[in-house]
Structure 1
Amino acid sequence: MDEQYLNELTEYLKSLHHVHAGSLPSLDLYMDQVTGFMEEHLASMKRHPEDKALTKTMINNYAKNKILPPPVGKRYNKNHMLILLLIYYYKSMLSLSDIRTVVDPLAENYFSFHSKPRLTDIYEEIFSFANGEMQSLVEDLEKKFQTANSSFSEQDPAFADLEGQEREQLQSFSFLSLLAFDVYLKKQLMEKIVDRMEESQKKRKRKKK
């Protein structure tokens, strides 16, 4: 694997970004407007151009499962949009029941525009760490790339007879696996954190009774 490939991956990574709360419309939106907004602002996050960021069916399902507060008069306000964005960012890593555990306290305590802090403030605080995390991720990507490039070495008798293309394919597999180990372990940690959040929520509900 050559450095150009690493540069392409790094540039792609840097092109990914979250939707800033300031980009959200101040007016309430109907469903078609919500999906249109998401398609426009989450385009860089989609794997394939034809993929849909969020569909009507998805949004209705989130509301049905009480992950998303219901619309008011068929319209969605800014806080609905913030919850939807959080669901979008989490949905590739957590189950819907886990996402509900994560966003339930946000919807319960901060969904009102009179709440302090505001849901907007919480969202922006969370994503204020994004730039630092991006830099750390770029550095980690470069480290894993170099590690993968040193794997399946021709100096190792087991791999000495590999042809150039075959060696590169196995190094790509090594690179993918290094990234997968990281994602897998962090997903396990995320699920442990969600379990703790769920247990804490259950305790609070028992105390209210």
Structure 2
Amino acid sequence: MTIDTNDILNSILESLDHVDYIRPEEIPNIDLYMDQVTTFMNDHFASTKRYSDDKILTKTMINNYTKNNLLPPSIKKKYSKEHVLLLILIYYFKSILSIKDIETVLTPLREKYFPGEGEISLADLYREVCEMEKSRIEPMKDSVREAYEKSLSSFSDISDTDDQNELRMFTFLCSLSFDVYLKKMMIEKIIDSMASAEEE
């Protein structure tokens, strides 16, 4: 099997160029029924699906998020803009965090900003975080390029070109994975400290 690592790197970097977020003004200003919420989420996150049959959001997921205190209950079977913002945050977090961890992270947001009674709105908070994240894309691309360049210098003593390319791809994958592993470990430590503070 021949893997063109340059094509993969270019594809990764290009995908980072297309990372975007749902802006608060794109969320309808009227309360939505559950079907409308799932349609909105599935339409707006369609490009993030890895496989065509992946589900972004289902009724069962929404009910589970409510049952696990991630999402406040609907009001008269309708969901507000704030509900949708929390669902977007849950969508991003759920690929790396447990339900319990997401609950810990979102509890302060639900309690202070969900009904729109805090010093800032949930929409303002969400917008600021997303804008900050957008500014991190170029440094992330530089980090990915650096990991790729380092992987190209590995296994130089392997004579078979296909084997060498395969091992270099594995090295590149490990480098990216290690970065995720370390960041996940840091995230969990922060969440553990948040949970301890709540208990006190």
Superposition TM-score tier, normalisation by shorter sequence: over 0.9
Q: TM-score, normalised by structure 2?
A: 0.94
> Structure 1: which 5+ residue stretches go unaligned?
204-209
Distance 2:53 2:18 in 1: 19
Deviations 1:107-157 (A, max 9, x none): 01111133321111111111121222111111111111111111111xx3x
What corresponds to 1:134 in structure 2?
137
Distance 2:22 2:194 in 1: 25
Distance 1:142 1:173 in 2: 15
Mapping of residues 1-209 of structure 1, within 5 Å: 1-153=4-156, 156=157, 159=158, 161=159, 163-203=160-200
User: What one-letter code is carried by the residue in structure 2 that aligns with 1:194?
Assistant: I
Q: By how many angstroms is 1:84 displaced?
A: 0.6
Q: By how many angstroms is 1:177 displaced?
A: 0.2
Distance 1:171 1:194 in 2: 35
- Contact 1:90–1:99 (8 Å) recurs in 2: yes
- Contact 1:16–1:44 (8 Å) recurs in 2: no
Q: By how many angstroms is 1:13 displaced?
A: 2.0
After the TM superposition, which segments of 4 or more aligned residues of structure 1 sit over 4 Å from their partners? none
Distance 1:49 1:2 in 2: 25
Q: By how many angstroms is 1:17 displaced?
A: 1.8
Q: By how many angstroms is 1:58 displaced?
A: 0.8
Q: CA RMSD in A?
A: 1.2
Q: TM-score, normalised by structure 1?
A: 0.90
Larger CA Rg, structure 1 vs 2? 1
Larger RCO, structure (CA 8 Å, separation 6 or more): 2
The alignment of Structure 1 onto Structure 2 pairs a total of residues equal to 197
